Amino acid sequence: MGVVNVTPDSFSDGGVHLDPDVAAVAARRMVDEGAAIVDVGGESTRPGSQGVTLDEELGRVVPVLERLDGVPVSIDTAKAEVARRALALGAELVNDVTALRGDPRMAELVAESHCYLCLMHMQGEPRTMQVDPTYDDVVADVAAFLDERLRFAVDSGIAEERICLDPGIGFGKTVAQNFELVRRLDELAALGRPIVIGFSRKSSLGRVLGDPQARTGPLAASVAAAVTAYERGATILRVHDVREHVEALTVAAAVLG
Ligand code: HH2
């Protein structure tokens, strides 16, 4: 899954894809490089971010989606109206970082649209989530949350086979907790749904490399996280640098057989 953030402030590619033509070229290049789907988002969820209005978010993503005819698209949004417009423009997957808790109309929309859905774990909200994340056992707590959200989605009429789950790397977790979630990914895979991991460029990578103030992580570190997550059962890797990840994951798959 390639990432195209149509935002001025995303933590790693903010401002790069604000021009819809540039964003569409980037999305198509990601597919050429081997991405199965491109995740388009118009609202940064980086730690400390404030959120954007509906009009602002639509104004960012709609011109991009209009240019992506024929490209497999995921829409990264917590707003049902943004998802509705994106689905009408051909998006196949709704990537909701609030796991259907952000907008009461989202579950019904996804159920009626028969699209795919990603349910992600987040403790708190982006503005404050990194202040003091606390868990009894981060993996067990995230698994219980995802299981509950999966049941909620299915009870709302969304087909279980269309749902994937994501522990939400960096969303209300310490550096150690992010790595533990990948180390023990088999416990999340046991929920029986495909697992998405988005470790690409995240600050925990830069911090484990020795910079306690890092805001991002480098490419080689992102690839290492993706490959080890894949080895432990992740099947969808959300990444900014598609070509390098596809090369690494192809070799990892050849080794693992
Ligand atoms: N991470 C980000 C945004 N959306 N969705 C899923 N399912 N999983 C993730 O790990 C995930 C996500 C944050 O990364 P990015 O989009 O690069 O930055 P920003 O939120 O600042 O736009």
Q: What percent of the chain has pLDDT over 90?
A: 93
Backbone angles phi, psi at 69, to 5 degrees: -55, 130
Helix and strand tally (H, E) in the chain?
Answer: 10, 8
pLDDT above 90: residue 128: no
CA–centroid distance, 233 to ligand 1, in Å, is 20
pLDDT for the residue 24: 98
Mean pLDDT value across residues 160-184 = 98
pLDDT for the residue 156: 98
pLDDT for the residue 170: 97
- Report the residue among 45, 98, 123, 125 best suited for mutation to probe ligand 1: largest number of ligand atoms under 8 A from its CB: 45
Quickly state the pLDDT bin for 48 (edges 50, 70, 90). confident
pLDDT for the residue 11: 86
Quickly state the pLDDT bin for 127 (edges 50, 70, 90). confident
60 in ligand 1 pocket by Cβ < 6 Å? no
pLDDT for the residue 240: 98
Backbone angles phi, psi at 191, to 5 degrees: -70, -15
pLDDT above 90: residue 228: yes
7 in ligand 1 pocket by Cβ < 6 Å? yes
List b or e across 137-153, with b for residues whose CB sees 16 or more CB atoms inside 10 angstroms: ebbeebbebbbebbeeb
Q: What percent of the chain has pLDDT over 70?
A: 100
pLDDT above 90: residue 14: no
CA–centroid distance, 168 to ligand 1, in Å, is 8
pLDDT above 90: residue 241: yes
Minimal-distance CA residue to ligand 1 atom 11: 198
pLDDT for the residue 180: 98
pLDDT for the residue 203: 97
CA–centroid distance, 253 to ligand 1, in Å, is 25
On the CB side of 218, CA atoms within 13 Å amount to: 6
- Residue 9 CB coordination number (10 Å): 14
> Which ligand 1 atom lies nearest to the CA of residue 43?
22
Q: Please, what sign has the CA dihedral across residues 50, 51, 55, 60? A: positive
**DSSP reduced 3-state for 196:** strand
Mean pLDDT value across residues 115-125 = 97
| Tokens matching residue 14 | 């903010």
Q: CB of 107 within 8 A of CB of 162?
A: no
Q: Kindly list the catalytic residues.
A: 202, 238
pLDDT for the residue 181: 98
**DSSP reduced 3-state for 3:** strand
CA–CA dist 121, 170 (Å, integer): 10
Minimal-distance CA residue to ligand 1 atom 10: 198
What is the full DSSP assignment across 202-249? -HHHHHHTT-TT-SS--HHHHHHHHHHHHHTTEEEE-BS-HHHHHHHH
249 in ligand 1 pocket by Cβ < 6 Å? no
pLDDT tens sequence across 27-40: 999 999 999 999 99
180 in ligand 1 pocket by Cβ < 6 Å? no
230 in ligand 1 pocket by Cβ < 6 Å? no
* Mean of pLDDT over the chain: 97
119 in ligand 1 pocket by Cβ < 6 Å? no
pLDDT for the residue 50: 87
Quickly state the pLDDT bin for 255 (edges 50, 70, 90). very high
